[in-house]
């Protein structure tokens, strides 16, 4: 139940507040998020059974979490990231998002019918280390596609 409510809420927020300037970047972030999450989950979820959505193994009920839950969250994160601010403000932004993600993950691990996330050997505190790394990877990818888009735009002008 919480998964579907979250999908609706996060997608509506992402649509309403999106500040990413081009559809190209939005599509890139959406597809990157899906691909990166699948890569991460194939290793951590399916190979090492650290956690899972709904049921262990490949579970079609968990597919929406892979396709339409996390991408809008990344759109929201990027829409307000202080790219032109000081390192301190950027670090605080990442820390705040990390704490928010950890709280959300804790809520999703409550028993059914609301919760949908289950732990194997994974501990919630591991996210204190992993989430900032994942955010930095997302930011690096976003900056890269932004530079590529600018180069393409510049070459089209010539």
Is position 69 within any domain?
Answer: yes
Is position 155 within any domain?
Answer: no
What crossing angle do the helices spanning 127-157 and 87-108 adopt, rounded to 10°?
Answer: 120
Task: Tell me which residues of the chain have a pLDDT lower than 70.
Answer: 158
Secondary structure (3-state) at 80: helix
pLDDT tens-place string over residues 25-65:
999 999 999 999 999 988 998 888 999 888 887 788 888 88
| Owning domain of residue 45 | 2-17+25-150
- Cα separation, 41 vs 22, in Å, equals 29
Q: Structure pTM? A: 0.92
Is position 157 within any domain?
Answer: no
- Looking at the structure of the chain, the number of domains it has is 1
- Cα separation, 63 vs 60, in Å, equals 5
pLDDT at 131: 97
């Amino acid at each position: 139940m919480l998964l579907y409510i979250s999908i609706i809420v996060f997608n509506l927020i992402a649509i309403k507040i999106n500040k990413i300037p081009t559809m190209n970047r939005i599509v890139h972030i959406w597809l990157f998020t899906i691909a990166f999450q699948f890569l991460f989950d194939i290793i951590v979820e399916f190979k090492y059974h650290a956690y899972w959505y709904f049921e262990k193994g490949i579970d079609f009920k968990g597919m929406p979490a892979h396709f339409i839950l996390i991408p809008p969250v990344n759109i929201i994160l990027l829409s307000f990231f202080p790219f032109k601010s000081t390192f301190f403000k950027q670090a605080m932004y990442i820390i705040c998002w990390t704490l928010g993600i950890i709280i959300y993950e804790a809520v999703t691990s409550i028993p059914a019918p609301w919760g949908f996330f289950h732990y194997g050997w994974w501990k919630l505190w591991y996210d204190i280390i992993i989430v900032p790394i994942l955010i930095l990877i997302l930011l690096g990818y976003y900056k890269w596609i932004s530079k590529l888009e600018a180069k393409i735009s510049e070459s089209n002008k010539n």
